[in-house]
Each structure stands twice: as structure tokens, then as C-alpha cells.
Amino acid sequence: MKPAIKKIIRQLNVSATMLAVYFLAATPAQAQTRAWSGVCVGSAEGQQDVATLQGLECLIANVFTVIITIIGLAGFVMFVVGAITWMLSGGDTGKLQSAKGSMTYAVIGMVVALSAFIILNLIASFTGISLITQFRIPSSDSGL
């Protein structure tokens, strides 16, 4: 491998590591901007508003929200990694095929996540339970 490409890969690795350390070392002041409020249904009187399991629908909605969000983000990240691998392949057919495969599987994963979202919307429209279609990226601001 050429020294210039090795240098670029080393710089990308250092940058990615520094970014990961920054986000993993968030202080509580950065991680939570306000108190929890009303997750799915209200809490009983005399109790604090915290994230609790209020019922089966709430549990399923929270699990689906997190899973589909993670699948979509993982698909996007894998697509970007495949694209970078393709650009840095340098004409090596093995690396090129690996990059194409990575990008193909990333697109398939995102299609599966989108299909799951569409199927959940269809189920919600047929059953009238709209709770499972409230998809948000979990954060302290959204109350999840």
C-alpha cells in the first residue's frame, strides 16, 4: 500500500477515535438537558416523571423505535464505510468487490428498516393503535 494512503487511513482512524471518545465521555450536563416528562402515559400521582414501563404498547413502541433507528444508522454508516473503501481501493479488485458488497448489504438493511416502518404503519392503521408508529430518535429532549 502506498505511504500516502497509509497516512490518510491513519489520520482517519485517529479522527474517528477522537470523535468517539468525545461523544462517549459526555458529562451529565451535556447528556440530559431537562427532566423526563410523560413517557407514553402519565405516571401515578405522587411519583416522579421518569421513564417507566407503563404497558405493553409503550414497551413495544420503545423497542421498535430504538431497533429501527439503530438499523437505519448502522446501514448509513456501513454505506459510508463501503464508499470510502471503494475510493481507497486503488484498483484492487478484492477491495473493490468488498466495498460493493458492503454498500449492497447496507442498502438492503436500510430497505428492511424502511419496510419494517411501513409494515408497522399498516398495522397501526388497521388496528387503530397509533402508539407504535411514533418514531423519534431517543434523546432527553424528546422525552424518550
Q: What is the DSSP letter of 43?
A: P
Asked if residue 103 lies in contact with residue 82, where contact means CB atoms within 8 angstroms, the answer is yes
For 108-123, letters b (16+ CB in 10 Å) and e give: ebbeebeeebeebeee
Tens-place pLDDT, residues 119-128? 877 887 888 7
Residue by residue, pLDDT tens for the chain (144 residues) are 688 888 888 888 888 888 888 877 766 555 445 554 555 544 455 554 444 555 556 666 777 778 888 888 899 999 999 999 999 988 889 999 999 999 999 999 889 888 888 887 788 788 876 655 565 555 555 555
Contact between residue 65 and residue 134 where contact means Cβ atoms under 8 Å apart = yes
Distance CA 58, CA 27 (A): 28
**Per-residue confidence (pLDDT) for residue 138, from 0 to 100:** 55
Count of residues making up the chain: 144
Task: Write down the pLDDT at residue 9.
Answer: 87
